[in-house]
Structure 1
């Protein structure tokens, strides 16, 4: 059986140890000969890499392990690139979340103005990785779950149309794990679903088991009362609120199960008012996952032992392994992937990057037809896809106006004046990351009239 070479791009991420643990768990299904970590922040990656080296030495010493900041070393001789980059790291995420909140607008990592800001930073980073792949391992596949996936997917659709890039997200997988448990099953793959939408902006229209039995009636009443909160689970405060809020988004269409992120678009005022502008999700991550992961990595590296190891495989990583296997072994598994619509959702923009079930094999995903979607969802999706396309227009054209239009059109922003204030703050904050945006004469004239 062939063994594969993998590079985790964004090796300094707090998710890296979980991915490594998942890869090791599934070596019988997906054997590995080489595992590389690549990051442009060598100091941050070293903390993670030192621990991963010990884990691999004790659990799978035959796997060649490399940690590097050199693109040629990182991307030469690889079969899969698992990309999880965060351009600007938590310092910029902090600004993504807190700048909009100054103006009473949702401050969230992937939704609204913060998500747009993050998207414009991510585009260049993902394209850079795609260029390294094309140069050093042109037959490799990139499994990209760098956020915000919809904006990144739209950019790669336009700018890298022939590259082997699959844009994916673990959020639907995490929700499907909860649905499976509610139905008395064990794993997200025990379900067969129909789903449509954009990344972080979609609905399940059918949830069945592998025998074709409809599971929606069994779990509908629970979701209506509790959302996706499961008893006995130790949730971080923000995630507990998110999974619980699903009951409110579900109320708007009780025939379809919502993605959790819809709360930011459907209950915008409530969400903004219940966010602390001085302590956002970024602070929670720093105090929780970031602190835990780096502390555990340093402990392992210092002891040179995995005794008492606290890292475990996670849902986020299981999906990546399943997707890699589907490509590697041409298994034609049914999985949720972000692809160009091209008729998958019949009454929707053909070039939209939609998240739908696909059959995945050696040649990538083949989208399945989801048919027409209802007017309520169609209206929301048309507005959001326009935001994403305008954001990519702004990056490509260096257009201040297009980015102002994108923020104004976002369902999370009340009007153009507020959008402009947020945008001006974001431009200043992102001057080291975004293309320089050009203002046309009309924008300059408006600014003079308002000054």
Structure 2
């Protein structure tokens, strides 16, 4: 089995490598190709990757290339983990929206739109190269904003499934609280990427007992603290919202908070510098503890599970992924991309049935999906007016003056990445 990781020079990659090494019986990789235009980062990351494989007695071969076509040739699956513009672009996404009184975040609101505009054309170009070189390969998208990027891939006819680590993070957290193995915990996870709720926590399988009420009664304070949301809110909802819902449920508070401290991008950039120095140490043969603070917890386990299911029989039959709606949420179009539990196999992902949703959740999902429709249109066709309409449609913006000011700032800060600007 051959896998290619586009964006293989990312500081995230050792997390992925560690999972591939530990879970080699689930996903028996013979060759792993790390693809990245940054040759210097590739050298550092691949050196550590080989040492991790060697320490854990993994017989797979790790190679590197800056050539996408060469890297994806003959690959069974291609994982995408890109950041177009790097941390510098992310820093802008997290700062200029604050000038208009709107949240600055890399996947939500105006910053998320900026990232989509930069990213979708690049990902589609890579996917076309995969299709020309190796049309049977699966594309696993971990590149944010995952929902919009995955929809772009699916609309273009690519074999693609989107993946996020939010659900597996909740699964691991609830398993610890319940003192059971993670595989025993199944989530009634419903929504969009970075806009989701855990409506139930079931033991033993998708049809198992829902233990969420007991979890909230016994551990509600700890769960709310992790989300940085009021315990009263979580209790009244009776479900567990993704921590990204804080941008919606406490928008103004978050804006004030973000205005008083350095951006997350600045923190991550400093962390990445330190991580790359660590990766260059020939004595280091495991992922460093600092990597856990970088984000992407349990990314490797989720990626291994999904790849194993798409390529064979090694993965879990039911996983939380991003895929076409196809009637699952009746208030959305079939070609909307949703994030729910799905049966995953060689033919792709098929969402499980979802009970009728409370309007509190359905309304916000429909609103953000409408924004994502307009965001994808702007990413594919460009133009100031399309950018403006997407911003005006976003529930965190929604006012003419805000949308006007944000449109000008978005274009000014991203001109080098927008072919039409």
TM over 0.5, shorter chain: yes
Indicate which of 272, 275, 278 corresponds to 1:293.
275
Which structure has the bigger radius of gyration? 1
Aligned match of 2:420: 436
TM-score, normalising length: structure 1: 0.86
* 1:356 matched to 2:340: yes
Indicate which of 195, 200, 205 corresponds to 2:199.
205
The 3-state SS of whatever aligns with 2:100 is: coil
Q: Which moved more, 1:389-398 or 1:58-67?
A: 58-67
**In structure 2, distance between residues paired with 1:115 and 1:248:** 29
Contact 1:193 1:207 in 2 (8 A): yes
Indicate which of 199, 210, 216 corresponds to 2:212.
216
RMSD (CA atoms):
2.2
Structure 2 vs 1, CA of residues 65 and 307 (structure 1 numbering), >3 Å: closer, same or farther? closer
Gapped regions of structure 2 (runs ≥ 5): none
Aligned match of 2:265: 282
Deviation by residue 1:292-343 (Cα, 9 ceiling, x = unmatched): 421220113xx4x638965799511101101111122246610011111121
**In structure 1, distance between residues paired with 2:260 and 2:383:** 29
Structural mapping, 1:91-170, within 5 Å: 91-158=88-155, 160-161=156-157, 163-170=158-165
Contact 2:169 2:297 in 1 (8 A): no
**In structure 1, distance between residues paired with 2:57 and 2:128:** 31
Structural mapping, 1:8-407, within 5 Å: 8-60=5-57, 62-158=59-155, 160-161=156-157, 163-187=158-182, 189-210=183-204, 212-222=208-218, 224-227=220-223, 229=225, 243-245=227-229, 247=231, 250-251=234-235, 253-254=237-238, 256-276=239-259, 279-288=262-271, 290-300=272-282, 303=283, 306=285, 315-330=298-313, 333-407=317-391
Corresponding pairs, count: 414
**In structure 2, distance between residues paired with 1:166 and 1:334:** 14
Deviation by residue 1:247-270 (Cα, 9 ceiling, x = unmatched): 46525522x221110110121111
The 3-state SS of whatever aligns with 2:42 is: helix
Contact 2:228 2:246 in 1 (8 A): no
Structure 2 vs 1, CA of residues 95 and 177 (structure 1 numbering), >3 Å: closer, same or farther? same
TM-score, normalising length: structure 2: 0.92
Structure 2 vs 1, CA of residues 387 and 307 (structure 1 numbering), >3 Å: closer, same or farther? closer
Contact 2:123 2:149 in 1 (8 A): yes
**In structure 2, distance between residues paired with 1:26 and 1:107:** 37
How far off is 1:362 after superposition?
0.9
Structure 2 vs 1, CA of residues 210 and 61 (structure 1 numbering), >3 Å: closer, same or farther? closer
Q: Which moved more, 1:406-415 or 1:108-117?
A: 406-415
Asked which structure has the greater RCO (Cα within 8 Å, sep 6+), the reply is 2
Deviation by residue 1:335-376 (Cα, 9 ceiling, x = unmatched): 011111121113333332111110001111111110321111
Structure 2 vs 1, CA of residues 277 and 432 (structure 1 numbering), >3 Å: closer, same or farther? farther
**In structure 1, distance between residues paired with 2:317 and 2:209:** 19
Deviation by residue 1:44-78 (Cα, 9 ceiling, x = unmatched): 22221232233334444632221110123211121
Contact 1:8 1:37 in 2 (8 A): yes
Structure 2 vs 1, CA of residues 25 and 279 (structure 1 numbering), >3 Å: closer, same or farther? same
Structure 2 vs 1, CA of residues 251 and 432 (structure 1 numbering), >3 Å: closer, same or farther? farther
How far off is 1:42 after superposition?
1.9
